[in-house]
Amino acid sequence: MFRVLLAGVVALTIAASAANASGSLTTGEKIMLQATMQQTIDRHLVDGQYFYLDRTTALVIALFPAKAHPMILQMGEHFVLCTDFRDSEGISVNVDFYVARRGEAFVIFDTIVDDRAPLDRLMREGLARPAG
């Protein structure tokens, strides 16, 4: 049901997205970015769990979706969207999704789990800013 509704909203906003020449994101593009993140999460869930490999401990960690952040950051032609997950103990774990345009759509090209340092550096150096 959510996907059908989302598809309708996205279809209605594509024309508005294409018409925006100012370089800032349209509402439709913001919706499409959030939808891309949510669809990626949904595709990777296994029995409600989002698994990732902790490269420090070499353990597979199960995370559970909690909430998406509404802010979208822009890095030149690319974007960053963030969401919170919870681990099995209920502790919040931040996940950053790095996104690129692919025609009229978006695709996630990298995901960083529980490591805010790369994004902090991009923001500190002025390379990632809130998208307009």
Cβ neighbours of residue 13 under 8 Å, at least 6 residues apart? 26, 27, 28, 29, 31, 32
Per-domain residue ranges of the chain: 2-130
pLDDT in tens, the chain (132 residues): 444 434 443 443 343 344 344 468 999 999 999 999 999 999 999 999 999 999 999 999 999 999 888 889 999 999 999 999 999 999 999 999 999 999 999 999 999 999 999 999 999 999 999 997
Which CATH number, 2.40.50, 3.30.70, 3.30.160, 3.10.450, labels domain 2-130?
3.10.450
Of residues 92, 67, 96, the one with CA closest to residue 79: 96
- pLDDT attached to residue 2: 42
